[in-house]
Structure formats: structure tokens, C-alpha cells
Amino acid sequence: MGSYVIHGGHKLQGTLTTNTSKNAAVVLLNAALLNKGTTTLKQVPQIQEVYRIIEVLESIGVMVRWSGNQDLIIKPPKRLQLTKLNVASAIRTRSILFWLGVMAHHQQSFSVPHPGGCRLGTRTVKPHLFALEHFGISIKAVAKWYHVRAPKLHAGGEIVLYESGDTVTENAIMVAALTPGRTVLKYASANYQVQDLCFFLQKLGVKISGIGTTTLEIHGIRKPDKNITYHLSEDPIESMLFIAIAVTTKSSLTIKRCPIEFIELELLKLEKMGFHYKVLRRYKAKNGKANLVDIKTYPSTLTALEEKIYARPYPGVNIDNLPFFVPIATQAKGRSMIFDWVYENRAIYYIELNKLGAQIELADPHRVYVQGPTKLTGAEVISPPALRPATIILTAMLAAKGKSVLHSTYSIERGYENLTGRLSQVGAKIEAID
């Protein structure tokens, strides 16, 4: 549980390149278990969340090895050894919930430990239960474990999802993918990681229509045995982090490989606040699916928006991008209201920025009012046990004059690769210490 020492208040200059998606990586590592053949995932981010999943997969007999710097090769055994599960690693990642769907194709009865990951209030498994029961799967929650029975899978028919969540949509997709017959998912998430999963499954031969919409039609197949290679798409949440850093520190940065379709509403709201930027180039991601751009940012004078800033399922301000508007709002003239309706606890973490001199008022567990502009100054803060709230403190510290120390940075390293090194290359005075 290391710390970052930051000497902030400096403008940054140079180029940052967006890495591939954490959320796509974690679902595709698990989705590789649907393939009897060898799966090669290209440009997988080397982050703590990925390391935990690799530890879990290796513990049950899956061959996982790095090829070069960032390609992962995954080959499942003929039979998974679930009794040898590395529980310690499994409970440190919420991604273990993907086993509710994936393992139903391997065993008729199994158990999944309750997940860890970000602590963001009540995050129930009921939407998964309600979706997966259409395929013949039952889930019983007991202390520390989910007991799952899948005696005989069948196509799901038409399913209305209880919520448009990313993980529940992905679980339902993975069950439907290898269950022969037709499944229609309504009110599905159309988010970037869901699209990456669909494109990956298409390479395995699964027929999926409606990708990028809230209604997916899936025609399942028998378990494939193919050697395939898939390029992950870039991470819009990392692009937004770099944009937030540029805005908050009033820096001129070039940010490459931004998946524009998943940040264009965020950019529009920033533009209406007075943010100046330019799209330098448009092109396709290496998987031929995602649309990427390079963005040039310029120092800007911001004004708070009159209406609230809130997130919603895609297409909308991404739920993971909403927190970045908090440090941005500290530098905008006027009063901003950030409405984080999804999570019970996340807005409470936002007031940690007050330790740096921000003026943030907690209205209730979901809403904060941010008064700006304020001069931020260095402070010592313990990182919250949640990825995005931790990164917005880091963002504010880069803008705060003087020395700051951010403790317990594992939360950040779960989702961002070599962040301190990359920020140092554009002039940030930041050091990671044990």
C-alpha cells in the first residue's frame, strides 16, 4: 500500500497516450474460459486488477503467460480445478462476479466468493440472479459465498434486465453465447466494455446483433475451440482522467488514442463550461471497431454549469467519468452540483478534496455542491478504497500548490498502469514510494 509524493501547482506539457481498457481486460480474461482453444489478448494493461485475475485463473489450472510486454496468452485446461481457487486474490476483485455466468458452462454446481474491489455502497447480486434464472441458473447467497446451480442451461428467450449494469449485461451475454438458441437482452448496457466483449465473442463465432444499442440478440453456439487474437479497445475513463488533469492544472497536453464515442458528451459539457480543445486526428482502433481521436487541450477559464452534472448508462456521461467533474468544478467560477445517484457512498469521498482547500458541500449521500474557483494547496490524504475517488484526489493534488502526499494508492494502481511514470514525462513532479 504505497504512497505518492506530489509537488503540485505546475502546468504540464507534452503527450499522454491512452492505454487499453481495464474494464474490457477483466471481462475478456474471464471470457477466454469460454474458448477451448488458445486466446491471445493484445495490449493488456499491466495493472493490479489484471494481476489478481491472473492469480485466480492460474490457481484453477488455466495457463496464462505474458508474450512480449503486454500481450496475454490464455489456454484453459480440459477441466478447471475450482477446489484450488485462490480465494485471497478472488475477493480482491469485483471481476470474480463474471464467474456466475462463465462457470455455468463448466460445472453444474459451484461456489463464487463475495467480491471486493471498490467500496461504493450497496452493490447487490440480485440483477444477476434475475437475469441468469432465465437460462436455468439459480444463485443462493450465504455468508462470504454465492452458491450457484446450473443443472441444464437453455436459451434465455426475451429477458428484461433488472438494471442496465455493465457486469450483469456481460454475465448474461456470456451465458447466452454458448447456449444454443436465441436470447434477446432488453435494457442492456451498451457501454464500451460490453461492446468489446461482443466483438470478441463474434470472433469466436457467436452471432450477436444490436451491438452499441440497449437491445442485443444473441444466437448461441456450442463451446468453440479456436485459436484467436483480439486487440482490446482503449479506455475512455483513462482519457477522461488525462483531460481532467489538463483542465484542472490549466495545461496544454496532447492526449492520444481517445475513444471519442465514449467521451464526446463529457467534452461537450466541458466545452459549455469554457474548455478549449482541438481534435487533431481521427482513426480506428487496432481491433477495427472503436473510433479514436487525438486531442489537444488548451488552458481555459471555466464557468460552472447552471444545471446539475450527472451520469447515466451509455449514451450519457459515463458513471466512472462523473467524479472527474469534481476537481474540474473547483476551478470553475460559480456553484456546480454533482449528482452521483448510482452509488450510496461515492459522493462522500468527494469532500476529501476539502483537505486541499476545495469548497465542497455534501448535500446528501448522492449530491455535492462545489464552489469555485478555489486555490488548492498541498495536503496529506489517505486514498479512499475506490478507484475513481482516489484518482480525483490525485488530479487535485497535481493542481494544488506545494507538497501533497497521497497514501494507500493501491486503489489507483488497480486501474492505471505506471501512472506516476507517465505523468512525470509531461512535467508532473510526482514520485511513488513504498
Encode pLDDT of 282-293 as tens digits.
Answer: 999 999 999 999
Instruction: Using pLDDT thresholds of 50, 70 and 90, give the confidence band for residue 123.
Output: low
Look at residue 125 in the predicted model and tell me its pLDDT: 86
What is the pLDDT at residue 400? 98
Which pLDDT does position 119 carry in this prediction? 56
Q: What is the distance between the terminal CA atoms of the chain, rounded to a whole angstrom?
A: 7
Distance, CA of 60 to CA of 357 (rounded, Å): 48
Query: In angstroms, what CA-CA distances link 102 with 106, 177, 385, 431?
Result: 7, 10, 27, 40
Mean pLDDT calculated for residue range 209-224: 97
Q: DSSP labels for 104-158?
A: GGT-SEEEEEPP-S---S---SHHHHHHHGGGT-EEEEETTEEEEE-SS----EE
pLDDT for 28 equals 98
User: How high is the pLDDT of residue 317?
Assistant: 98
Q: Using 50, 70 and 90 to split pLDDT, how confident is the model at 280?
A: very high
Over residues 181-187, mean pLDDT: 98
Residue 270's pLDDT is 98
Write down the pLDDT at residue 124. Answer: 73
Check residue 1 and give its pLDDT. Answer: 74
Instruction: Outline which parts of the chain fall under CATH 3.65.10.10.
Output: 3-19+234-433, 22-231
21-60 tens-digit pLDDT: 999 999 999 999 999 999 999 999 999 999 999 999 999 9
Question: CATH homologous superfamily of domain 22-231?
Answer: Enolpyruvate transferase domain (3.65.10.10)
> What phi and psi, each to the nearest 5 degrees, are found at residue 175?
-70, -45
What percentage of the chain reaches a pLDDT higher than 90? 94
Q: Give CA separation, 25 vs 31, 34, 51, 78, 206, in Å.
A: 10, 15, 11, 23, 19
Decide the pairing of beta strands 402-407 and 3-8: antiparallel
- Tell me if 147 sits within 8 A of 139, measured CB to CB: yes
Domain 3-19+234-433 has CATH 3.65.10.10: yes
Residue among 298, 340, 200, 286 nearest 18 (CA): 286
> Does 122 score more than 70 pLDDT?
no
Please report which confidence band the pLDDT of residue 277 belongs to, taking 50, 70 and 90 as the band edges. very high
Are 388 and 353 in contact by the 8 Å Cβ rule? The answer is: no
Write out pLDDT tens, residues 286-328: 999 999 999 999 999 999 999 999 999 999 999 999 999 999 9
> What average pLDDT does the chain have?
96
Q: Are β-strands 380-382 and 359-364 bridged in parallel, bridged antiparallel, or unpaired?
A: unpaired
Position 118 scores a pLDDT of 59
Write out pLDDT tens, residues 372-418: 999 999 999 999 999 999 999 999 999 999 999 999 999 999 999 99
Cell (9 digits) for 261: 464515442
